[in-house]
Amino acid sequence: GIAGQITTSGGDTYQVDAKGLEVDQAFIKGLIGALCVDQITNNYLTASKLDGDGTTNDASTLGGGEYTNMEHYWDEGYGYLYGYNDLHTGGSDDNSIGVAEGKGVLLNKYLKKVNESNEPGIADVIYDAFKLGRAAIVAGDYVLRDEQAAIIKQKLDMIIVYKAIDYLSGGAETISSGAEREDTFHGLSEGYGFVLSLQFTDYFTNSEVDTMLDQMMEGDGFWDITAEELNSMVDQIESAVGVSAS
């Protein structure tokens, strides 16, 4: 019931609020849906954005090295997934050199995790769809473009789904094992953020997500949430998706 610092049985220390929520983790994982996925699949790669007033792909007045607005919008969507790059500050992180580098702390990091565990090959599918969709824009084939955008949306939505399930089921397993309650807080905080992100996928509404978040924070929050409650949320997510993602 008091915000402060907790230490896990493994010796890791985290700062949490009175209900055990690690606010920075909830915020960062929430940004994965509310910023990255939302901007890519609900904004830049939508037909309404790409087509605009019907002149967005007019290249008749462009000079060398210039791009149409439609090409630019598609590239902006691409950047929300692959654009992290600190080479200009002397670092070595650069997502542009591969399909799943896992750099940064947002969507690309979890693309790599999902590619290595939940759905091997998902990174290639997404990357290939970005490439083919971009080529389709240049060729003026907007049916093919939209088909690739749909592939990207479905796969990015599944990254959110997989990670929400992973963290909720992981918390349930830890509680069921009889481990110290504090051992669940970090993972459940990440799970909270991914549940928040579910509302930016095709699978959940804002109202449905708010209900799940309220359930996680009922009473004393993570101090007294049960394995049964967490597993029920996992079942709800899997049912909404239509497959067993765990």
Given a contact cutoff of 8 angstroms between Cβ atoms, the answer to whether 199 and 25 are in contact is no
Confidence of residue 60 (pLDDT cuts 50, 70, 90): very high
Confidence of residue 245 (pLDDT cuts 50, 70, 90): low
56/228 Cα distance (integer angstroms)? 51
| SS3 (DSSP) at 94 | strand
How confident is the model at residue 117, as a pLDDT?
95
User: Quick one: 82 exposed, middle or buried, by C-beta within 10 A (0-12, 13-18, 19+)?
Assistant: buried
Cβ atoms < 10 Å from Cβ of 54: 7
Among 42-46, 96-100, 104-108, 110-114, whose mean pLDDT is lowest?
A: 96-100
Give CA separation, 3 vs 43, 216, 230, in Å: 37, 17, 23
In the block, tokens 């088909």 appear at 147
User: Quick one: 88 exposed, middle or buried, by C-beta within 10 A (0-12, 13-18, 19+)?
Assistant: exposed
pLDDT at 86 exceeding the cut of 90 = no
What's the chain's average pLDDT?
A: 94
In the block, tokens 């029920």 appear at 232
**For residues 63-70, average pLDDT:** 94
How confident is the model at residue 246, as a pLDDT?
47
Taking only Cα atoms into account, the Rg of the chain, rounded to an integer number of angstroms, comes to 20
**What pLDDT, in 10s, does the model give residues 176-228?**
999 999 999 999 999 999 999 999 999 999 999 999 999 999 999 999 999 99
